[in-house]
């Protein structure tokens, strides 16, 4: 398997996008690989920003503190 094809397949697997339709040019394959990786990173970042306040409140509700006693 050529490097570009392997990159595309690995990116689609890591991004959770599933199987790939056959792409003809190397440029299309690289674009699809970069887009898959960007989408995965954007999703994780967005979910972290959205869920951070909820997790923070849950930690306070459970009275979990840092080892040095600060809040």
Each residue's pLDDT tens digit, 35-52:
989 988 999 999 999 999
Q: What is the DSSP string of 2-58?
A: -HHHHHHHHHHHHHT--------SHHHHHHHHHHHHHHHHHHHHHHHHHHHHHHHHH
Q: Indicate the pLDDT class of residue 29, thresholds 50, 70 and 90.
A: very high
Only one residue has tokens 């959205």, namely 50
Cut 0.85: pTM above it: no
Tokens of 1: 């398997």
**Rounded-to-integer distance, Cα 36 and Cα 45, Å:** 14
Among 15, 2, 8, residue whose Cα is nearest residue 31: 8
């Amino acid at each position: 398997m050529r490097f570009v094809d392997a990159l595309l397949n690995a990116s689609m697997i890591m991004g959770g996008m599933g199987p790939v339709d056959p792409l003809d040019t190397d440029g299309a394959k690289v674009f699809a690989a970069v887009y898959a990786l960007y989408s995965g990173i954007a999703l994780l970042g967005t979910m972290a920003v959205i869920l951070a306040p909820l997790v923070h409140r849950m930690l306070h509700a459970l009275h979990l503190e840092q080892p040095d006693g600060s809040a």
